[in-house]
Amino acid sequence: MLGTIMLTALLLLSNLAFADDLVFKIELKNRTMVPSEIIVAPNTAFTIEVVNTDNTAEEFESKSLKIEKIIPPKRTSKFNVKPLAAGEYDLFGEFHMDTCQGKIIVK
């Protein structure tokens, strides 16, 4: 019983940890990603909030972050990102790869 209570408390606290982290908003607009670059300090957890303001769905994806989700028109999705090492991480809209590109720069 005590183990179950402690496990539940631990799970709740781990979810709360992301609530105080940085939140970066990306808008999928006119088949583009705005902003197209996000700059983050190394070893910093953060959340990406993706708002699709277009009238068509978009598959928001990042191979390097292992994110892949179809976001319907006029909908929002959030992605918690664990702390990253310095480098660049791809972001793109798979349905409009020619125009919907972005990246996260960790430096």
Dist. CA 18–CA 38, nearest whole Å: 18
- The structural domains of the chain, ordered by start, are 21-106 (2.60.40.420)
Predicted local confidence at residue 5, as pLDDT: 52
pLDDT at residue 8 above 50? no
Q: Is the model more confident about 13 or about 63? A: 63
pLDDT at residue 17 above 60? no
Dist. CA 55–CA 23, nearest whole Å: 24
Among the listed residues 65, 64, 53, the one whose alpha carbon sits nearest the alpha carbon of residue 100:
53
Q: What are phi and psi of 4, to 5 degrees?
A: -65, -40
Average pLDDT over the chain, rounded to an integer: 89
Predicted local confidence at residue 7, as pLDDT: 46
Dist. CA 72–CA 103, nearest whole Å: 21
pLDDT at residue 38 above 80? yes
pTM (2 d.p.):
0.79
Q: What are phi and psi of 19, to 5 degrees?
A: -65, -30
Q: Is the model more confident about 76 or about 17? A: 76
Predicted local confidence at residue 21, as pLDDT: 74
